[in-house]
Amino acid sequence: MHSTRAKILALIVVLAIALGSVAFMIGHLENESPSEDEDGSEHGLLSDPRLNRTASISLPVDLDSLATDSPELGPIGTWGYHGGGHPEGFDHTAFKFHDTSPVYAPDDGVVESVEYVGSDDIRIVIFHNYTMASWFDHLGQLLVAKDDYVTKGQVIGYSRSYASYSMVDWGLVDFNNKTGPMFPWFSTDPETEGSFVPPFSYLSESERLQVEQIFNDSMLQPFLDGIDVPRMSKAEHRLVNPVFPVREGEDDIAGVWVYSGLWDAGGPPEILTFIHADTQYFGRVQHAVYYQRTASGGSETWEAEYDIDTSVTPHRIRLRFTRFDPNFPQTIYGIYEVYTSDSRPHLRIEFSNETYPTTFSDSAVKYFIRSRLHPENEANLPSTSALHLALDDLLESESSGHLVGWQVLVPEITNRYRRPNPSL
């Protein structure tokens, strides 16, 4: 056992050094290689002449293969939706099929990285030029390797199969966009890093209209008919939704709020999301997402309708959960205040299961508004318990040859260069 742990600790050091060596800044130019005096200009990817081109993005899947006859599967993932384990908002889309389906390169490009989360759960990043990249997750089979040059429409792999469906995630990154959810592949500097963007906006008009028609027929209309469709709510039932909820003033509670304390099981919810929207079909809607980590290392997400009373101070809020655990209260009551004097808005809130608190007590909790960074990049994670969990995962998986849990084991290193954990 001592020998095994010694090997693991040595491997951690090697991994940290290796990951640290890839930190560099991406260039800003779309079709030109970065100049020699820019940081990161010597990295092969950023000076590869094969990327000196204009990107032309197409869908990476066959639309005819989508599970359009099963709205309960959600054949097309709605971009920006908050819920379903993603209270921060989906910064990518997903495609679901009944059977394993081919996944195509959306455009020519170079395979920048390959990551085996499991033997049949693979992530890759393909750069299409110096400022556009595709991120794929949940590939069940991969047909390309790191540094390969792929051509538009080439089969790069196959969707991953689950019990009742097959799926793949696709995210599109624009390094010229500095306003969306950040893609922290090279650093965590918001001035240099690009954003995940709605990929449908980058398609040709004819292809985009095809997607919209399929979405309307196979998801939106069934949702309006009362079917429970994944990644859709009364507040967010469009193909593309604002990933940063719109705020109507400094005192507005709308937004994705990240818990500033220690993220550990049994504590306050780690993320609270509040959305209000004037919708075409449902009128004014106020939707909340309540996200909490569990002792098993997973998470639970509850969705709720909410109403507020800003005529009193502290303001009042009531959450009525639409999908709830029998052990969780169906309605909770709270008071809150929003502070905007700091560099970013903060929320102080306190909940009760029975009635509105009259004043704040020691049970009040503080949150800060989400930035471009994924919340896990800013979270106060429990490093000690995470270390033990990761070591246990490593020891259990040693015989299979797969290293599990690195992102948890060294979050201060890997969170800068890896796509955040898809469980959040």
Q: How confident is the model at residue 187 (pLDDT cuts 50, 70, 90)?
A: low
> Mean pLDDT across the stretch 120-126?
96
Q: How confident is the model at residue 376 (pLDDT cuts 50, 70, 90)?
A: confident
Q: Which of 65-74, 104-113, 130-139, 391-400 has the lowest mean pLDDT?
A: 391-400
Q: How confident is the model at residue 199 (pLDDT cuts 50, 70, 90)?
A: very high
Find the angle CA(171)-CA(97)-CA(288) to the nearest 5 degrees: 55
Percent of the chain's residues with pLDDT above 70 = 78
pLDDT at residue 361 in the model: 97
> Mean pLDDT across the stretch 359-374?
96
**Residues ≥6 apart with Cβ < 8 Å to 207:** 58, 59
pLDDT at 421 over 80: no
pLDDT at residue 380 in the model: 86
pLDDT at residue 233 in the model: 95
Higher local confidence (pLDDT), 381 or 335? 335
Higher local confidence (pLDDT), 418 or 138? 138
> Mean pLDDT across the stretch 181-191?
76
Find the angle CA(109)-CA(111)-CA(113) to the nearest 5 degrees: 150
pLDDT at residue 341 in the model: 87
Percent of the chain's residues with pLDDT above 90 = 68
pLDDT (tens digit, 9 = 90+) per residue, 146-182?
Answer: 999 999 999 999 999 999 999 999 999 999 999 999 9
Spell out the SS3 assignment of the chain: CHHHHHHHHHHHHHHHHHHHCCCCCCCCCCCCCCCCCCCCCCCHHHHCHHHCCCCCCCCCCCHHHECCCCHHHCCECCECCCECCECCCCCCEEEEECCCCEEECCCCEEEEEEEEEECCEEEEEEECCCCEEEEEEEEEEECCCCCCEECCCCEEEEEEECCCCEEEEEEEEECCCCCCCECCCCCCCCCCCCEEECHHHHCCHHHHHHHHHHHHHHHHHHHHCCCCCCCCCCCCCCCECCCCCCCCCCCCCCEEEEECCECCCCCCCCEEEEEEEEECCCEEEEEEEEEEECCCCCEEEEEEEEEEECCCCCEEEEEEEEECCCCCCCEEEEEEEEECCCCCCEEEEEEECCCCCCCCCCCCEEEEECCCCCHHHHCECCHHHHHHHHHHHHHHHHHHCCCCCHHHHCHHHHCCCCCCCCCC
pLDDT (tens digit, 9 = 90+) per residue, 230-249?
Answer: 999 999 999 999 999 999 99
Q: How confident is the model at residue 327 (pLDDT cuts 50, 70, 90)?
A: confident
pLDDT at residue 85 in the model: 84
pLDDT (tens digit, 9 = 90+) per residue, 59-81?
Answer: 999 999 999 999 999 999 999 99
40 vs 84: CA distance, rounded Å = 37
CA atoms within 13 A on the CB side of 15: 17
Per the CB < 8 A criterion, the answer to whether 255 and 370 are in contact is yes
pLDDT at 320 over 50: yes
223 vs 234: CA distance, rounded Å = 9
pLDDT at 43 over 70: no
pLDDT at 196 over 80: yes
> Mean of the per-residue pLDDT values for the chain?
82
Q: How confident is the model at residue 349 (pLDDT cuts 50, 70, 90)?
A: very high
pLDDT at residue 314 in the model: 97
pLDDT at 416 over 90: no
Q: How confident is the model at residue 310 (pLDDT cuts 50, 70, 90)?
A: very high
Q: How confident is the model at residue 8 (pLDDT cuts 50, 70, 90)?
A: very low
pLDDT at 42 over 60: no
Per the CB < 8 A criterion, the answer to whether 245 and 275 are in contact is yes
pLDDT at residue 44 in the model: 59
Q: Structural domain boundaries of the chain?
A: 48-224, 255-369
pLDDT at residue 13 in the model: 40
Q: Which of 34-43, 84-93, 407-416 has the lowest mean pLDDT?
A: 407-416
- How is domain 48-224 classified at the architecture level of CATH? Distorted Sandwich (2.70)
**Residue 165 burial by Cβ neighbours in a 10 Å radius (0-12, 13-18, 19+):** middle
pLDDT (tens digit, 9 = 90+) per residue, 201-217?
Answer: 999 999 999 999 999 99
> Mean pLDDT across the stretch 306-331?
90
Kindly calculate the radius of gyration of the chain based on its CA atoms and give it in whole angstroms. 22
Higher local confidence (pLDDT), 110 or 419? 110
pTM, full prediction: 0.79
195 vs 181: CA distance, rounded Å = 5
